[in-house]
Structure 1
């Protein structure tokens, strides 16, 4: 595993930790919350300008950035532009990826941003090919995440 891949996977891990901080019933401390937010933002901003010519590596990088920018509360006025740039990159790399867990993960988080039905259909098509009796923990988690996004669209917008 090269440095870019390991950094992208580490950002995915820390962003996931931040998103689910306190969900396990453990106390939530403000200093931990602030430290994780800052760590995620610093990692995002250091990885944002980087690109890979390898589709799987670029997909992991895009996934990490989407997760990271969604997890952090900090925004210095450019977070939405950066997320849009990452979404554009994601669309390019999705076309190059084989049907895989990584592709479903990237499709899921992109769908959660743009709610494009084609992404949802493609994710479901790949998932339908998985053996339901022997799902990995990661497969089960992304199925649940996709279901969550489908059932709760636009969670941060005020609906009139």
Structure 2
């Protein structure tokens, strides 16, 4: 096969494929770079607050605040989080030229987190409603914050390993 009048040898083809693989690995490493620190802190605080807000929303009677106040807090924090996520994603894309990606993360870490975290967040609210003991909410909040920190540290380690 000829390309621009130059005959491609098997060795040249292998070298071109290796270069392509190197570019692909570099792009994956760049897109796996950790979140900005400010967004990591925002995400951790948001995840830590969710069990308590869910608990307030699902309580049998008004708990600490009236139920409509809990709904307002949930809507406001979710809106702020969504806006900050968009800012972080745009800043990252402007800085690197690569969109934030989750598909480069190992499935053995993301799948349990994607399944377990919602179960933890919502389950704690139901346990609180059933027992009336806020210890469920506090425990879920602390576990969620620890999961966020652990996931961020794994993200950082992944980036260092691929960079």
* Fold conserved between structures, TM > 0.5: no
The structure whose Rg is larger is 2
Greater RCO (Cα-Cα under 8 Å, separation 6 or more): 2
For normalisation by structure 1, the TM-score amounts to 0.32
